Structure 1
């Protein structure tokens, strides 16, 4: 099941979340501004322990790791499915306040995706 592309507008530009299933597994891309791959996270659900964990690989000079790690774990925790999430958001000369806004909007997108997956 593939859901439509989800977007949120920030003061610096648009964030875009795309989703695709491969069997029961979930692949998500989260980009914004000058989109790229800055980090890749894998979320895994431990059925025995009943919890989700995630791991991340970050490309040099990128800071997309925290958002990718958290989002992969959050989606996996909600769905109990393996999640691969790529994140790449770049708005030149972004301020700390704008970073907080982008992180908040990205979290809203992840929550929107989780709700859509639960309703499907």
Structure 2
């Protein structure tokens, strides 16, 4: 199985995403700075409550004591799940010392951009390449 790798960088910050496929499901390892496991989010696609013709997602998150990655992990998991109509798990560990509020906004933006890129890449056929590589 092929692993897809993505990175987004701004200033001193770089956030990395490694994407694997387990059957039809997607697993993302999201790291930056001092990598670790801070939060794990899982999301499942479902019909939208506003418009059942659209796909939305429901997610849950487990955050280790003292960690703050819950929002980025859940947002990415739910966004990917709705965008790809697949089950998604995101394991997030992003850490830099003494971040200012503006730094946190930058990192959240980098994570959003990564999620958008992952959705676009898999939607445009990388998921098929991942599946065919798994068969080899």
Structure 1: stretches of 5+ with no match in the other structure = none
* Distance (whole Å) between structure 2 residues aligned to residue 2 and residue 44 of structure 1: 23
| Higher normalized helix content (fraction of residues) | 2
Residue 97 of structure 1: aligned partner? 102
The yes-or-no answer on 1:53 pairing with 2:64 is: no
Q: TM-score, normalised by structure 1?
A: 0.93
Report the alpha carbon displacement of residue 13 of structure 1 after superposing the two structures with TM. 2.7
Question: Pick from 65, 68, 72: which aligns with 1:67?
Answer: 72
Q: TM-score, normalised by structure 2?
A: 0.82
Residue 23 of structure 1: aligned partner? 23
Q: Which runs of 4+ in 1 moved over 2 A?
A: 1-4, 10-13, 46-51
Task: Summarize the Cα distance change of 1:2–1:47 in structure 2 as closer, same or farther, 3 Å threshold.
Answer: farther
Q: Is contact 1:12–1:98 with CA below 8 Å preserved after alignment?
A: no
Q: Which has the larger radius of gyration?
A: 2
Structure 2: stretches of 5+ with no match in the other structure = 126-136
